[in-house]
Amino acid sequence: MSQRTIAEKISCTGIGLHSGAPVQLTLHPARAGTGVTFVRTDLAHPVEIPARHDAVTSTNLATTVGRGDATIGTVEHLLSALFALGIDNVRIEVDGPEIPVMDGSAGPFVYLIRTAGRFDQRSERRTLRITQPLEIRDGDRHICIEPGEGFSVDYAVDFSHPAIGRQELNGFVLNDVNYERELARARTFGFLRDVEALWRAGLAQGGNLTNTVVMDDERVLNEAGLRWSDEFVRHKVLDLVGDLALLGMPIHGHVTACRAGHALHQALVQKILATPEAWVVEGLLAPIPDTAEGLTSPIAIPA
**Active-site hit among 28, 53, 254, 262:** 262
- Our answer to whether residue 262 is catalytic in this structure is yes
Separation CA 248–CA 217 (nearest Å): 39
Separation CA 172–CA 237 (nearest Å): 9
* Per-residue three-class SS string for the chain: CEEEEECCCEEEEEEECCCCCEEEEEEEECCCCCCEEEEECCCCCCEEEECCHHHEEECCCCCEEEECCEEEECCHHHHHHHHHCCCCCEEEEECCCECECCCCCCHHHHHHHHHHCEEEEEEECCEEEECCCEEEEECCEEEEEECCCCEEEEEEEEECCCCCEEEEEEEEECCHHHHHHHCCCCCCEEEHHHHHHHHHCCCCCCCCCCCCEEECCCCECCCCCCCCCCHHHHHHHHHHHHHHHHHCCCEEEEEEEECCCHHHHHHHHHHHHCCHHHEEEECCCCCCCCEEECCCCCCCCCC
Closest among 255, 232, 234 to 245, alpha carbons compared: 255
The dihedral over CA atoms of 118, 119, 120, 126, expressed in degrees to the nearest 10, equals -60
> Which positions are annotated as active-site residues?
262
